[in-house]
Amino acid sequence: MSTQLTLEARVRNEEGKGASRRLRRLESRVPGIIYGGKNAPKSISVALKDLVKAIENEAVFSQVITLDIEGSKEPALIKAMQRHPAKGFPMHVDFQRIDTTARLTIRVPLHFINQDLCVGVKTGGGQITHYTTDVEISCLPANLPEFIEVDMANIEVGVTLHLSDLKLPEGVEIPVLALGHDHDQPVANVHKSTTDAE
């Protein structure tokens, strides 16, 4: 389960490009919005340094964040982030409110572990290919993992891992698998290296 992250936020009364520029330049804050659920959308801002620190971890984009908006706490997900085209720092961030009692569908990263111990590479002279770096899951917010591990240790040459092979935490499902075998997409495989074949 993902670690709970809290971000302090303030209500933003002035809107528009000029107000956003002033907010970034004079207060080192990032303008944003929180929407969804039963409440109306709300213009907010978060401290640039706090947001930059949070997004150093890739899991923040698949993590329930508690937004502390001037004392009112709302669980949310980062749905979109606009970055400076040259410098890469956040310029605007969209949060979506979530219902902690309802299942959510979200993409989480895959972490490929034990690749250096992979049987197909060490003894079979194979190479590992990744077909995807994340997967769409469904779960309650309390069960949301930061990532799904893909253990490559015992994978031999010629073996392909599919979505159905992933070991999922309790309460986590991969919705696309309910659509049938044709949707059981490959995740990774170990194949003979092209140099060996030549």
Q: Is the Cβ–Cβ distance between 128 and 152 less than 8 Å?
A: yes
Helices and strands in the chain, H and E counts: 4, 12
Q: Say if domain 5-97 classifies as CATH 2.40.240.10.
A: yes
| Backbone φ/ψ region at 88: left (φ over 0), alpha (ψ -120 to 50), beta | left
Architecture of the domain made up of 104-197: Beta Complex (2.170)
Cα separation, 153 vs 114, in Å, equals 5
Domain boundaries, the chain: 5-97, 104-197
pLDDT for res 26: 82
pLDDT at 62: 85
- The whole-model pTM stands at 0.77
pLDDT of residue 75: 93
Residue 20 confidence class, pLDDT cut points 50, 70, 90 = confident
Confidence band, pLDDT 50/70/90 cuts, at residue 1: very low
